[in-house]
Amino acid sequence: MQKVLDTHALMVYLEKEPGYEKIRDLFSNLAESDKKVLMTTVNWGEVYYITLREKGTAEAEQIMKIIDTFPIEIIEVDRIIAKQAAVYKSAKKMSYADCFSAAIAKLKKAELITGDKEFKSVENEIKILWL
């Protein structure tokens, strides 16, 4: 099954917070199989702005270069993804960026990897692997 990485999950991995082992193991397994986990450009940008805000430009740029080496396929947001994200945002108590992770998981029939409790509101619509 295809997997989707949300911002929270990637930040857990980067900061070696509890649960990072699951992401480490996922990356290891993906690298061996030449497969990739999905992430939207919106969530990629969220990782950048969080790092920029917390650690400055040099560190943010360095982190983005490191992320480029991970088995992650960055999905450009199109109207179909944006529309599904908007549907979630209109009905759920989720951040707009989180709605994009949920949208891509739903549209790709993929499993979303997260530890962010906001996704509880879409548990009945998409499969979630909790960190």
Task: Spell out the residues 6+ positions from residue 109 whose beta carbon is closer than 8 angstroms to its own.
Answer: 1, 2
Q: How confident is the model at residue 95 (pLDDT cuts 50, 70, 90)?
A: very high
pTM recorded for the entire structure: 0.92
CATH number of the domain within which 65 lies: 3.40.50.1010
Please name the residue that has the structure tokens 């998409």: 126
Whole-number pLDDT of residue 34: 83
Domain range spanning residue 34?
3-130
Q: How confident is the model at residue 17 (pLDDT cuts 50, 70, 90)?
A: very high
DSSP structural state of residue 125: T
Whole-number pLDDT of residue 121: 95
Whole-number pLDDT of residue 46: 97
Please name the residue that has the structure tokens 């979303």: 112
Cα distance between residue 68 and residue 115, in whole Å:
22
Whole-number pLDDT of residue 55: 96
Mean pLDDT computed over every residue of the chain: 96
Other Cβ atoms less than 10 A from the Cβ of 66: the count is 10
Cα distance between residue 130 and residue 29, in whole Å:
18
Whole-number pLDDT of residue 102: 98
Q: How many domains does the chain have?
A: 1
Cα distance between residue 61 and residue 126, in whole Å:
32
